[in-house]
Structure 1
Amino acid sequence: MELKEIFVERALVELAVVDVVVVVVVVVVVVVVVVVVLIEVVVVVAVVVVVVVVVIEVVVVVAVVVVVVVVVVVVVVAVVIVVVVVVEVLVTVAAIGTS
């Protein structure tokens, strides 16, 4: 073989090796990008879950406040009823005592 053919063959082999290396690097970069995108999706889903949990907690707190307000109103109404009954009894006793 001529020296020129040997250099051409060697150059072709070197180009093939470079092509393989470039393909491997591109595949690695694509895999890294896909992994990063998947991690970002997981983070977004986690943030959405946290927001939903916070909204549920706010709803629970509002429900507890409503229950407390209802209980306070019921207690106030019960106290008013007791006061009215006591006043009626006192008025009745006073009316019987004066008659």
Structure 2
Amino acid sequence: LNPSGDRAYKSPRSVRASAVTRSAVVLVVVVEQQQQQQQPSQVVVMVVVVVGIVAVVVVVGIVAVVVVFVVVVVVVGIVVAVIAVVVVVIVVVAAVVVGGGGGAVVV
């Protein structure tokens, strides 16, 4: 209570406190408005990031498939070449053995 008994009386300190509170509320509102204005750009950034990640995953997947395909082709090629060499050697040896070692063998 102030000296005159008026309950509505505010001390200068409480007036200052309420002014600070009001300015804080205004600051919060301004910051929230700025954040709401920034949200579309944040959405764009998120979309770009997601699209970039998907693109990287797709590219890595394609590269992995190509690498696996090349490795399989190379391995199959080597195996086929080895089998062909073995078959040729067997045919040559068999022909030499059957032919008694006489003369050149045409395969």
Residue 10 of structure 1, CA deviation: 3.0
Q: Which has the higher relative contact order, 1 or 2, with Cα contacts under 8 A spaced 6 or more apart? A: 2
TM-score normalised by length of structure 2 = 0.61
| Cα distance in structure 1, aligned partners of 2:56 and 2:101 | 67
Query: What are structure 1's unaligned runs of at least 5 residues?
Result: 79-99
Query: What are structure 2's unaligned runs of at least 5 residues?
Result: 1-25, 103-107
Distance 1:75 1:19, change over 3 A: same
1:57 aligns with 2:52: no
Distance 1:15 1:71, change over 3 A: same
| Cα distance in structure 1, aligned partners of 2:101 and 2:48 | 79
In the alignment, what sits opposite 2:56?
Answer: 32
Q: How does 1:1-99 map to 2 (within 5 A)?
A: 8-76=32-100
| Cα distance in structure 2, aligned partners of 1:38 and 1:77 | 54
TM-score normalised by length of structure 1 = 0.65
Deviates more, 1:57-66 or 1:69-78: 69-78
| Cα distance in structure 2, aligned partners of 1:75 and 1:30 | 66
Which amino acid in 2 is paired with 1:33?
V
Residue 61 of structure 1, CA deviation: 0.6
Distance 1:77 1:35, change over 3 A: closer
